[in-house]
Amino acid sequence: MFTAYRPVLAVPAVRRAIGLGFLVRMPLFTLGVVLTLHIVGTLHRSYAAAGVATAVLLVAIGVGAPWRGRLLDRHGLRPVLVPAILAQVVAAAAVPWVGYAGLLVVCAGSSLFTVPGQAVIRQALMTAVPEEQRRTALSLDGMVLELSAAIGPAIAVAVAAAWQTTGMLVLVSLLFAAGGALLWWVNLPITTAGAVGPHVPRRVWLRLRFLGIVAACAVAAVMLSGTELGIVAVVRSHGRPGLVGVVMAAWAVGSLVGGALYGGLHRSLDLRVLLAALALLTMLPAFSVGLWSLGAWVFVAGIACQPVITAGVEALSQAVPERARGEALGWHSAAMTSGSAAGAPLAGLAVDAAGPPWAFASVAVLGLVVAVLGALSARTRWGR
């Protein structure tokens, strides 16, 4: 099964994109943690205030992603990266001098012009390999992305504990700028030579099929965000908050295993089937009877995480012309960001109303309903 990775890794452009993806996207996963620590610890504001700042961050990224993706399609990589790099440098210079309100403005501006690392790396991988190897390349990227998401926050928390959070925020902004500069220097090809031409109008690809894919990806993000909150709630209910990281690690390992298995398959699986599988597996931690069983069930639930994300990007790449992939991936990023922002409040309401296990059940039921509706729509004229 894993022999599928050998020819993909033999492509120099794939190795270059994977390595760059690990580096340039790590600051994104550290930013939310450092921002919360700075607002609560240095600015002495509430966790609610930190939540507002995180929401501003996510909304700005979601708003900017489609617009910047469209610019990638029209003008190429380097012209889009220059203002992104400058925005991060300005943010780094402003952070030491602003209070809470000013910090919100800085977060909004820098996130609106954030370095589009996610879209660039995925477009580069799609360009580097033929279509039959795309799933394997995207699965490989998903596994590396999982490592970035696990390592980045851990390093940020460790450094912030020994250093001032203001300096950490400046460093994260500069790392964003450095990642953008590295992408500008390497200048990864994000379209094939044959794709050069006028921009493709939205009416060609912004159709029901595309909207269905984006909706499925958003619901998947809701389930992932709800699972994260559910893990915290259940572990705290057992009086062992120090073990949250251990249970989270079990979930991440499950996602890595699932991504590796899916990338080694000889054919793709339907996104709706994978979404239903994620929903059913996300339901399992609700039946845990202790922390050991919780860790085991979230490991199992994690197995479907990366396959759903990979399948969503792969389906999107097949539904959209190459010259419109930048904007399409921007909408995908906006959907994932919106889903992540909505999942935690939904799961939180379920926890407050019925108890910690319902965090998993609430988001899983939503995912299963959307998967079933998607399967039913495929039988209609619209689905076809």
Q: Is the pLDDT of residue 24 over 80?
A: yes
At residue 320, the pLDDT reads 87
Joined tokens for residue 378 = 């495929």
DSSP one-letter code for 201: P
Residues 121 and 21: beta-carbon distance below 8 Å: yes
At residue 382, the pLDDT reads 46
CA distance 376 to 384: 11
More confident of the two residues 384 and 372: 372
* Distant-in-sequence, close-in-space partners of 382: CB < 8 Å, separation ≥ 6: 208
CA distance 182 to 176: 10
Q: How many CB atoms lie within 10 A of CB 381?
A: 6
Confidence category of residue 383, pLDDT binned at 50, 70, 90: very low
Q: Is the pLDDT of residue 327 over 50?
A: yes
Amino acid at 163: W
| Class of residue 174 by CB neighbours under 10 A (exposed 0-12, middle 13-18, buried 19+) | middle
Confidence category of residue 1, pLDDT binned at 50, 70, 90: low
Q: Is the pLDDT of residue 86 over 90?
A: yes
Mean pLDDT of 197-224: 84
Residues 110 and 88: beta-carbon distance below 8 Å: yes
Q: How many angstroms separate the Cα of 184 from the Cα of each of 66, 271, 373? A: 20, 33, 42
CA distance 339 to 221: 5
At residue 29, the pLDDT reads 78
**What stretch(es) of the chain map to CATH 1.20.1250.20?**
1-197, 199-378
Q: Is the pLDDT of residue 262 over 80?
A: yes
Q: Is the pLDDT of residue 229 over 70?
A: yes
CATH class, domain 1-197, is mainly alpha
More confident of the two residues 282 and 322: 282
Residue with tokens 């795309």: 134
Model pLDDT for residues 288-298, shown as the tens digit of each residue: 888 899 999 99
Q: Is the pLDDT of residue 35 over 90?
A: no
Residues 147 and 259: beta-carbon distance below 8 Å: no
Joined tokens for residue 324 = 């419109």
CA distance 205 to 131: 19
Residues 205 and 321: beta-carbon distance below 8 Å: yes
Residues 184 and 82: beta-carbon distance below 8 Å: yes
Model pLDDT for residues 338-359, shown as the tens digit of each residue: 888 888 788 888 888 888 899 8
Which pTM was predicted? 0.83
Model pLDDT for residues 99-153, shown as the tens digit of each residue: 889 999 998 898 888 888 888 898 888 888 888 888 888 888 888 888 887 777 7
Q: Is the pLDDT of residue 219 over 90?
A: yes
Mean pLDDT of 216-232: 90
Mean pLDDT, the chain, rounded, equals 85
Give the fold, CATH level 3, of 199-378: Growth Hormone; Chain: A; (1.20.1250)
Joined tokens for residue 47 = 């966790």
